[in-house]
C-alpha cells in the first residue's frame, strides 16, 4: 500500500514538473476516487448554508457531491478551460449545476473569502504556497480538506486512510489565531 502511494506521489510530481516547464498549470489533473470524495465530504462536516470551494476542481466531482447536501452551494475553480467545461457538463448531468458557480481562474488569485469549506487535491508544494492565503483570507471556522497532500507543519485535526491504494485525506479548521 505504501509503495502504491509513493508511486502515485512520484507520478504526480513528475507530471507537475512537466506542466510547469511547458507553462501550464501547477498541478496535473488526476481524478479523485469515489471513496476519497466520500471521505472528503464526511471530513468537511457539511451543513446547510456552507459554500464549498474546490481549488483546482478538475471535473467537478467533489463539489457535485458536496452540493447534494441540502442547502449547500459550491464553487469550482479551475484554470483549464476544458476542465471547466467538463465540470459544467458533469454538474448538468447530475442535475446540480444551478447550485454551483464555475470560475476559470488561478487558485492563487480567485477570491475565496466567502468559502466555509475549501477542498484541495494539489501537490504538497502547492498546498504550502496556498496555506498563507488560506490563513489570511478565510474566516475562523472554515474547514480545509486535502486529498493525499498535507500542509507541512500545520498539523491536521484528522487524517483518514482511504483504500484502495491508501490515499490519505487530511482536514483542518482555520482558527482565529492563524489569521
Residue 130: CB atoms within 10 Å: 22
57 C-beta neighbours (distance < 10 Å), count: 30
In the prediction, which pLDDT does 165 show? 67
Half-sphere exposure of 124 (CA within 13 A, CB side): 12
Give per-residue pLDDT as tens, 46-62.
999 999 999 999 999 99
Is the pLDDT at 34 greater than 70? The verdict is: yes
Share of residues in the chain with pLDDT > 70 (%): 83
pTM given for the model: 0.85
Rounded to whole angstroms, how far apart are CA atoms 128 and 120? Answer: 12
Residue 26: band (very low, low, confident or very high) from pLDDT cuts 50, 70, 90: confident
Per residue in 89-131, pLDDT (tens digit) is: 999 999 999 999 999 999 999 999 999 999 999 999 999 999 9
Q: 41: buried, middle or exposed (CB in 10 Å: 19+, 13-18, 0-12)?
A: buried
Strand order in the sheet with 73-78: 100-104, 73-78, 51-55, 117-120, 143-147, 167-173, 158-162
87's grid cell: 465540470
Q: Scanning the structure block, which residue is given the C-alpha cell 498546498?
A: 127
Amino acid at each position: 500500500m505504501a509503495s502504491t502511494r509513493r508511486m502515485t506521489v512520484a507520478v504526480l510530481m513528475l507530471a507537475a514538473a512537466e506542466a510547469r516547464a511547458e507553462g501550464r498549470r501547477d498541478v496535473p489533473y488526476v481524478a479523485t476516487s469515489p471513496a476519497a470524495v466520500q471521505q472528503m465530504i464526511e471530513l468537511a462536516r457539511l451543513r446547510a448554508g456552507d459554500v464549498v470551494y474546490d481549488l483546482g476542481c478538475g471535473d467537478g466531482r467533489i463539489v457535485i457531491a458536496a452540493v447534494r447536501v441540502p442547502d449547500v452551494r459550491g464553487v469550482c475553480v479551475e484554470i483549464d478551460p476544458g476542465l471547466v467545461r467538463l465540470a459544467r457538463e458533469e454538474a448538468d448531468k447530475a442535475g446540480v449545476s444551478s447550485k454551483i458557480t464555475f470560475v476559470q481562474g488561478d487558485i492563487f488569485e480567485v477570491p475565496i473569502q466567502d468559502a466555509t469549506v475549501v477542498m484541495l487535491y494539489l501537490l504538497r508544494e502547492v498546498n504550502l504556497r496556498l496555506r498563507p492565503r488560506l490563513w489570511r483570507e478565510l474566516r475562523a471556522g472554515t474547514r480545509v480538506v486535502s486529498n493525499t497532500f498535507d500542509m507541512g507543519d500545520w498539523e491536521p485535526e484528522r487524517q483518514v486512510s482511504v483504500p484502495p491504494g491508501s490515499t490519505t485525506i487530511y482536514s483542518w479548521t482555520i482558527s482565529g489565531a492563524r489569521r
